[in-house]
Structure 1
């Protein structure tokens, strides 16, 4: 593999891992405030959009991203907004562990979307690692901590499908800017959130936490999109599954939400699967491709 492609892939892996680690704190922020889900969406989105636009302006990239914002970027923004609209309520209605483990299904959703829309075949190692990660999810679900609200779990699944669609879209259109569509996704939700709940009634003491949540969300979203354009969709989603064991761990350390033995065991399986998927094939040996022919470069 040429050195440039190796560096591009390494950068993609690093960015997606950073995104997963940062995203794993979302449940902590959501469960640490008493504000309603739509109020959290409003203030987090306002902070995330403002910080992202300020970052682009300081870097001198705002005008370029505005010029590059087209129908593809708008579609990504709408998908991101739909996922965000389900993300926060899912944490309010279900456990942190449940939402995180359902998100671990993203590799399969992304692989299916990439196969249908891009005719992209994931490496066999990625497929096997994804199946192992699914086994880890099954282990987590089998325990008491895997039981949650049907509505919350359904929202988590919808969020997972939307994020898989965003990953696939960036793989199809790597030239679409990463930052501005994420800011637009947050802005699209502001009038909806304001119509659904009295956003001004958030306790003043919780505002700094919501603004910090917006900063964290902006960083995680941009690093995910930047990483997704450098990696196959299935691999991006598989790396993002690192959030699955990290989120329950943070919930235990900060919220005293104790994970069961099944959650710990399943998280260990997912970690191992993700790390194993990153091992390159031996020199001179190519991994056998999956049965789906690829027309994507």
Structure 2
């Protein structure tokens, strides 16, 4: 009799625990979107060149992410491997190259252009996955890709003769690199991805140290550079922890909030207002991104609700 009375309480406690985990996951992923949204503002606020910025960002970020990885490894009793192998090193090098293009893009074009172009990464990932590994390409993704491509074309087209075309090109290159990185992460499932990210950040530090003079920065820039490395590490850790607690479609939808946050921060802290063509193209891309992610989220919720 006691067991039957305890069972509803157990179910209620389990449901409450699941709800609490989901709430925490939503909060962490949302916080990561805010932290990632600061990238453009911090990059443009620092007077140093892009390689110096990536060097310092890599130095601070690699230390903090390494501490996080070691903490997780200790919690798991040493079960999480730190052996990268050639796949992990390939991830690290490719991620470092994409990061250099990412930071450089902010220096040569509007923050809005970079983050909106980067928002098309899931579609480029789907296209590359179809071409490289013959992964099925969903009809809704094809439609969303076509719509977002129109938006990007409007944004990039507005860069002709304005001096922003190079930055837009770097943003496109970075997005393609990020898409390839996502495919590699899926293909190399046994590779410690977060640890590879820490190594990637350290590679940026080593590369920057030899090709630039990272110590030749003002005190103001030094403070901002340390803050930049800290925000990068915090965003990565928050997203990693939060995405473990919520379904992938929900994580993707919340992560896309980075775009409006970045544009808002650029307006508030830099007074940056992109031209009408960029705003129009960006609106088209964002509609495609949120509609695609939102549909996946609704489908996932229906499946979860189905007994």
Q: TM-score range by the shorter chain?
A: 0.7 to 0.9
CA distance in 2, matches of 1:74, 1:269: 37
Q: Deviations over 1:135-193 (max 9, x none)?
A: 33344445579944343333222211111111111122333223211111111122221
The answer to whether the aligner puts 1:153 opposite 2:168 as a matched pair is yes
Match of 1:44 in 2: 57
> Residue 57 of structure 1 is aligned with which of 47, 51, 70?
70
Match of 2:192 in 1: 177
Q: Name the CA shift for 1:86/1:19 in 2 (closer, same or farther; >3 Å).
A: same
Q: What's the TM-score once normalised by structure 2's chain length?
A: 0.74
The answer to whether the aligner puts 1:263 opposite 2:278 as a matched pair is yes
Q: What's the TM-score once normalised by structure 1's chain length?
A: 0.76
CA distance in 1, matches of 2:96, 2:226: 18
Match of 1:94 in 2: 109
Q: CA deviation at 1:82?
A: 0.7
The answer to whether the aligner puts 1:250 opposite 2:279 as a matched pair is no
Q: Which has the larger radius of gyration?
A: 2
CA distance in 1, matches of 2:104, 2:256: 20
Q: Name the CA shift for 1:267/1:165 in 2 (closer, same or farther; >3 Å).
A: same
Flag the structure with higher helix content.
2
Structure 2, unaligned runs of 5 or more: 1-18
Match of 2:90 in 1: 75
Q: Name the CA shift for 1:99/1:147 in 2 (closer, same or farther; >3 Å).
A: farther
With 158-167 and 20-29 compared, the bigger mean Cα shift is at: 20-29
Q: Name the CA shift for 1:140/1:150 in 2 (closer, same or farther; >3 Å).
A: closer
How many residue pairs match? The answer is 278
CA distance in 2, matches of 1:35, 1:178: 29
Q: Name the CA shift for 1:70/1:144 in 2 (closer, same or farther; >3 Å).
A: closer
Structure 1, unaligned runs of 5 or more: 1-6, 285-297
CA distance in 2, matches of 1:115, 1:11: 34
What RMSD in Å do the two structures reach over aligned CA positions? Answer: 3.8
CA distance in 2, matches of 1:243, 1:137: 17
Match of 1:120 in 2: 135
